[in-house]
Amino acid sequence: MSGIWNAAEDAEFVNLSIDMSIKVIADTNGDLKLDVNTGGVPLGEFVITAGAINKTVKIVSTKPVFDTGSPEYPYPSMCGTHNGTLTPNQTITVSKLYTYSCPGTCGHTERVTIRNDMGGVIVEANWTGYDGDWRNITFDAVTLVAGEIYNYSFCTGSYPQIIHERTANVTGGTITCAQFTDANGKVYIDWIPAIILLNKP
């Protein structure tokens, strides 16, 4: 497992001393379970369970990111094509797109395109399949400038988490849905994919 999950370079180490058996459940990926003594824990939310005690721990990057977060109600969800805008509130360098998947599913992004306000493509990348780090798409690093409006197009697969709003204020800025077309051709204007844009370690 440590060969797949690597701790973020800015992660803080925490020592846990306890007299009972503990397991970590990565609830953003359904049934995936990790031992506490793993070589690295990915970003996301985890549940630490000890008997009847459950504690949710969120592992976040200390570097600037654009993070929609995981919505309380991510359903209904479906794969399709999301088009909209994002506006960072701080200048950030990004080289990875992480997609929050609905619990128990393999929700992911298959293709990402980001354009600047002049229409120039600054990010264009494709998913590499379920091998390895399948919730992420990596691309050449690009700087998103605070206050600038960027147009995005994300083609998703399976069941990604959805924020059912036209516009959402999120960690790192604002994201707006212009149009989502699902796999059946139905069009929505209030489906925002739950994602993180960050710089890979």
- 134-152 pLDDT, tens digit per residue, is 889 999 999 999 999 999 9
Q: Look at residue 116 and tell me whether its pLDDT is greater than 60.
A: yes
- 76-109 pLDDT, tens digit per residue, is 999 999 999 999 999 999 999 999 999 889 999 9
Smallest CA-to-CA distance from 196 within 151, 160, 166 is with 160
- Give dist(CA 148, CA 151) in Å, integer: 10
Cβ neighbours of residue 18 under 8 Å, at least 6 residues apart? 50
Q: Look at residue 35 and tell me whether its pLDDT is greater than 60.
A: no
pLDDT category of residue 55 using cuts at 50, 70 and 90: low
Ranges of each domain in the chain? 1-62, 66-198
Residue 182's SS3 state is strand
Peptide bond into 64 cis (omega under 30): no
Output Rg (C-alpha) for the chain, integer angstroms: 17
pTM of the model: 0.69
Phi, psi (deg, nearest 5) at residue 61: -85, 145
Query: Would you say 99 and 152 are in contact if contact means Cβ atoms under 8 Å apart?
Result: no
Domain range 66-198, CATH class: mainly beta
Mean pLDDT on 166-171: 96
DSSP 87: E
- Give dist(CA 2, CA 41) in Å, integer: 8
Give residue 131's pLDDT.
83
Burial class for 164, CB neighbours closer than 10 Å (0-12, 13-18, 19+) = middle
Q: Which residue has the tokens 């925002």?
A: 192
